[in-house]
Amino acid sequence: MDIQLALDRVTIEDALAIVKETEEYIDLIEVGTSLIKEYGIESVRKIKNAYPHKRVVADIKTIDNAEYEFNLCFDAGADIATVMGVSSIETIKKCLQITNKKQKIVMVDLLNTTENKRNQLFSLSNPNVIFCDHLSKDEQEISGKRNTFSHLDNVWSIRYAVAGGITTDSVDQLVDKKLEIAIIGSAITNSSKPEKTAKRFKELLKGL
């Protein structure tokens, strides 16, 4: 399982410094929504230019205007861009169209989607689509970190990621899940020793 480092609520300079410290233990770099909102698409470009060998995720959370926003992300160097699953199917399909044309990846954020909408989205599954089970920042602040991931037991036939509230105390529960990516943010970025923490996450995901 790959580790996607989520960079939020930091400056571009701090984001670059955190990646430099942890790059040995992470597989994808997520330019977080807050980073894009505060510093613009240039944040994606700067991070990709600094780490061209890493896959960069632009967490733009598109909900409309898909063609413009996805082209913006991919032209800045992103390998993956995100769209909210609660968007219209027309928006999701436009994201897929741009993604396929650019030979990139779309990550569909399942935050606040209903079971019916998720089933509709899963029917669009193809090798260029990753679905993301996401516990929001606001939910984490109210309910705390995740303690269980049992609802992911039956994820078998689609590309799947999990994000939000993952800690070194709970990440071992992901080891046997059929997941592709664990998205980890503040547990690493707010750590007093990001490199050591990222290394520990990698060890735990390998069952060490």
Q: What is the pLDDT of residue 97?
A: 97
What pLDDT is stored for residue 170 in this prediction?
83
* Burial degree of 29 (CB within 10 A; 0-12, 13-18, 19+): buried
Task: Please state whether the predicted TM-score (pTM) of the whole model is above 0.85.
Answer: yes
CATH of residue 150's domain is 3.20.20.70
Amino acid 171: pLDDT: 87
Segments forming the whole domain that contains residue 75: 2-205
pLDDT tens-digit readout, 1-29? 999 999 999 999 999 999 999 999 999 99
* Regions in the chain scoring below 50 on pLDDT: none
Please count the structural domains in the chain: 1
